[in-house]
């Protein structure tokens, strides 16, 4: 398999966000971080630091080791899905994909704007194996599969939650609306792939022609079109890979349910059920998506876990302890990601440059 770019391939530039927009996003991220720290402090105070420490001690070092191993399996599932999303004549080794996924997760978790550069970080991390345009397009392809599977996961979680408990009417209506919106998004994504709509690039082109976001869309609209072409070409050439990729994306979420069940089995007084573990994991995934700008999801993850914990009658303290234990797992793998970044000689400035493929 070839892994080096051909001489005739065009240069590919990563579109830059203007300093003004970056500054605004940084301010927004800082505000969310402060709010998250405030929330975190409140929940620790309301539950009691001694109770949380007791739950963490009960979980134990051995339990934490198992938790780290389960999360490694989750990252491996996404790395395999990405590996399958790489076009011929290029290929990506599993070990390179896994390390790049760990780096991307570290960037996404640690930096307030990490969600904007995590995909680029993955592609840059394997730039010696794949041309940048191939790396970015394969990341986009894998993210599309992940989005579809995650949407289905959230729909099932929301439906189970609203139908299993007597919620206030306002909450029930809100969750029903959320289910409808996510369902429409899934239908749109599937139809977009099957019918090969160039919806994103045409939208960017329309915005550009109206005189908006010229700096971002000068090259960006062409690159969005290129991404769409790569994704649709993958659909045409490798339709048999769709189910295996979706299976690995689903495995990521199923292992997340097991992770939650395992933690609860060690800290909760009553034996956890798969339903409670499923609901806690689905809410955690929704919070991760909505509040991705908050570093380490500090505060907001605890808020969601407490809400579901009280609804499931497993206790607010157990819910908050669950979120804090999982945060320890995030910190560990973020540290591994930082070590990989340093060992590869990567810097944040590499993500702001305009490398060529």
pLDDT in tens, 252-301: 999 999 999 999 898 888 778 888 889 888 877 877 776 666 666 665 66
The C-alpha atoms of residue 164 and residue 157 are separated, in whole angstroms, by 10
- Domain containing residue 253: 25-351
What is the sign of the dihedral through the CA atoms of 130, 296, 287 and 247?
A: positive
45 pLDDT tier (thresholds 50, 70, 90): low
Mean pLDDT of the chain: 79
The C-alpha atoms of residue 329 and residue 334 are separated, in whole angstroms, by 9
Radius of gyration of the chain (CA): 21
The C-alpha atoms of residue 141 and residue 139 are separated, in whole angstroms, by 5
2 pLDDT tier (thresholds 50, 70, 90): very low
pTM of the model: 0.79
pLDDT digits (tens, 9 = 90+) for 346-356: 665 554 444 44
What is the sign of the dihedral through the CA atoms of 282, 258, 305 and 80?
A: negative
Nearest CA among 318, 315, 311, 323 for reference residue 161: 311
Q: 220 by DSSP, 3-state: which?
A: helix
Query: Does some domain include residue 17?
Result: no
Angle (deg, nearest 10), helices 316-343 and 19-47 = 140
Query: Does some domain include residue 10?
Result: no
The C-alpha atoms of residue 330 and residue 227 are separated, in whole angstroms, by 30
Query: Does some domain include residue 13?
Result: no
pLDDT for position 92: 93
- Number of folded domains in the chain? 1
Cα-to-chain-centroid distance, residue 194: 24
Query: Does some domain include residue 5?
Result: no
Query: Does some domain include residue 4?
Result: no
Residues in CB range of 6: below 8 A, 6 or more apart: none
Please return the burial class of 214, using the count of CB atoms within 10 Å of its CB with bins 0-12, 13-18 and 19+.
exposed
Calculate the dihedral angle through the C-alpha atoms of 243, 244, 246, 248, rounding to the nearest 10 degrees: 160
Look at the chain and count its residues.
Answer: 357
Report cis status (omega within 30 of 0) of the bond before 89.
Answer: yes
pLDDT for position 112: 62
What's 239's DSSP letter? G
Query: Does some domain include residue 12?
Result: no
């Amino acid at each position: 398999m070839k892994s080096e770019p051909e001489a005739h391939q065009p240069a590919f530039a990563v579109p830059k966000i203007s300093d003004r927009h970056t500054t605004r996003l940084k301010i927004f991220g800082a505000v969310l971080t402060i709010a998250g720290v405030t929330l975190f402090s409140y929940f620790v105070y309301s539950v009691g630091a001694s109770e949380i420490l007791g739950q963490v001690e009960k979980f134990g070092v051995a339990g934490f080791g198992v938790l780290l191993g389960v999360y490694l399996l989750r990252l491996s599932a996404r790395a395999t899905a990405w590996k399958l999303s790489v076009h011929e004549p290029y290929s990506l080794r599993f070990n390179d994909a896994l390390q790049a996924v760990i780096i991307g997760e570290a960037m996404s978790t640690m930096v307030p704007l990490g969600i904007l550069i995590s995909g680029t970080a993955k592609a840059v991390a394997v730039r010696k194996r794949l041309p940048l345009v191939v790396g970015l397009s394969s990341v986009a392809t894998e993210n599309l599969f992940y989005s579809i599977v995650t949407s289905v996961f959230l729909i099932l979680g929301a439906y189970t939650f609203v139908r299993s408990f007597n919620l206030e009417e306002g909450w029930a209506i809100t969750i029903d609306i959320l289910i409808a919106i996510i369902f429409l998004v899934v239908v749109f994504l599937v139809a977009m792939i099957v019918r090969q709509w160039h919806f994103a690039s045409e939208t960017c082109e329309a915005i550009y022609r109206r005189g908006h976001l010229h700096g971002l869309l000068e090259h960006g609209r062409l690159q969005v079109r290129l991404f769409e072409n790569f994704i649709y070409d993958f659909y045409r050439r490798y339709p048999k890979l769709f189910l295996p990729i979706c299976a690995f994306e689903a495995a990521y979420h199923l292992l997340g349910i097991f992770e939650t069940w395992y933690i609860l089995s060690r800290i909760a007084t009553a034996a956890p059920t798969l339903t409670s573990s499923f609901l806690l994991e689905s809410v955690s995934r929704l919070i991760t998506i909505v509040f991705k700008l908050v570093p380490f999801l500090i505060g907001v993850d605890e808020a969601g876990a407490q809400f579901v914990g009280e609804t499931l009658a497993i206790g607010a303290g157990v819910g908050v302890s669950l979120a804090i234990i999982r945060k320890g797992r995030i910190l560990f793998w973020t540290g591994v990601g930082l070590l990989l970044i340093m060992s590869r000689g990567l810097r944040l400035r590499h993500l702001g440059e305009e490398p060529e493929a």
